Amino acid sequence: MSLNKPLKIKSNTHLNKMIKSNFIIEPKLDGSRHILKCENNELKILRDSGRIKNKVFPELTQIKLPDNTILDGEVCYLKSDLVADFYQLLPRENLTNQIKIDVLSKKYPLTFVAFDILKYQDKDLRNLPFDKRREILDSIPTNDRFKIIKQYSYDEINKLDRTNMEGIVLKKPDSYYSDNWFKHKFYVETDFNVIGYTSETRLISALELADQDKNYVGKVNYINYPQTKEFAETLKGKIAVVKHQWTNTNKVKFPVLKELRSK
């Protein structure tokens, strides 16, 4: 089954124009895209490749859906309605040891968060407008392991704490399932202290970073600056201006070095 893939919004100008065009806004959760399918009263958790993941996510197999229904969504380790911790999900993705799976499923239970519905009680909904599909999706009862993504206005999103949010997805109310969705990731720029560097494929491959309280926050790729021993000796103590997101453990995520300067 071909899944709708969001297109990246390249600029804030483009984003603002789309917001004014009456798009629906949903949080972009950092999870793993899956299909939840109930057919002949048997629930299957599927990757878009068709691989069945029931054994990997046993806590999700108790979800109750109407028969002959298909949902599109994310398997997540939810921290809130806005934030999912991908690093708690990651060890589960390809785990095959059932004992470890059972332990992790109880210690860090995952949730399927639905954001669209493709079929309901054997009726194909993909050519219904999104707002109509959403009405049907909202009629399905939720529980601790099954949630439906919340929707927000742009003003509401801006008033929320977006520190650990990955971003937002925008959808037109009248769009079919095959129409384009759009995604926009949230980034911040932070001044970090350079506390060292790593040498991998180059003399200076990445800069090691700490925040202003001397807490280690990760590293950023080092490009477009000199690759000499003399310059490497001057790096410690410099300020790296980094565009990034935050992980839930206060480390930099998707970091990009914007500027390197002396204090």
136/247 same-domain check: no
* CA nearest neighbour of 248 among 95, 76, 9: 76
Residue 1 has pLDDT above 70, yes or no: no
Asked if 74 and 31 count as a contact pair (C-beta separation under 8 A), the reply is yes
Q: What is the pLDDT of residues 85-125, one digit of tens each?
A: 988 898 888 889 999 999 999 999 999 999 999 999 999 99
Asked if 205 and 199 count as a contact pair (C-beta separation under 8 A), the reply is yes
110/215 same-domain check: no
From 9-13, 109-113, 143-147, 194-198, the region with the lowest mean pLDDT: 9-13
Point out the domain boundary residue: 140, 156, 185.
185
85/14 same-domain check: yes
Provide the residue count of the chain: 263
For residue 238, the domain's CATH number is 2.40.50.140
Name the phi and psi angles at 18, rounded to 5. Answer: -70, -40
In a domain? residue 223: yes
In a domain? residue 2: no
Domain extent, residue 239, equals 188-261
Asked if 3 and 48 count as a contact pair (C-beta separation under 8 A), the reply is yes
253/230 same-domain check: yes
pLDDT at 104: 94
Asked if 70 and 118 count as a contact pair (C-beta separation under 8 A), the reply is yes
Q: What is the pLDDT of residues 126-143, one digit of tens each?
A: 999 999 999 999 999 999
Mean pLDDT, residues 63-71 = 97
82/123 same-domain check: yes
Residue 10 has pLDDT above 80, yes or no: no
Residue 81 has pLDDT above 70, yes or no: yes
For residue 15, the domain's CATH number is 3.30.470.30
Q: What is the 3-state secondary structure (H, E, C) of 172-211?
A: CCCCCCCCCCEEEECCEEEEEEEEEEECCCCCCCEEEEEC
pLDDT at 95: 87
Q: What is the pLDDT of residues 138-188, one digit of tens each?
A: 999 999 999 999 999 878 887 887 777 889 999 999 999 999 899 988 888
123/153 same-domain check: yes
The per-residue pLDDT of the chain, averaged, comes to: 91
Written as six digits, the tokens of 183 are 């995604």
39/108 same-domain check: yes
pLDDT at 61: 95
Mean pLDDT, residues 207-228 = 93
139/246 same-domain check: no
* pTM of the model as a whole: 0.81
Q: How many Å apart are CA 164 and CA 76, to the nearest integer? A: 14
Residue 59 has pLDDT above 80, yes or no: yes
Q: How many Å apart are CA 85 and CA 169, to the nearest integer? A: 18
57/155 same-domain check: yes
Terminal Cα-to-Cα distance of the chain (whole angstroms): 54
pLDDT at 15: 77
Asked if 185 and 208 count as a contact pair (C-beta separation under 8 A), the reply is no
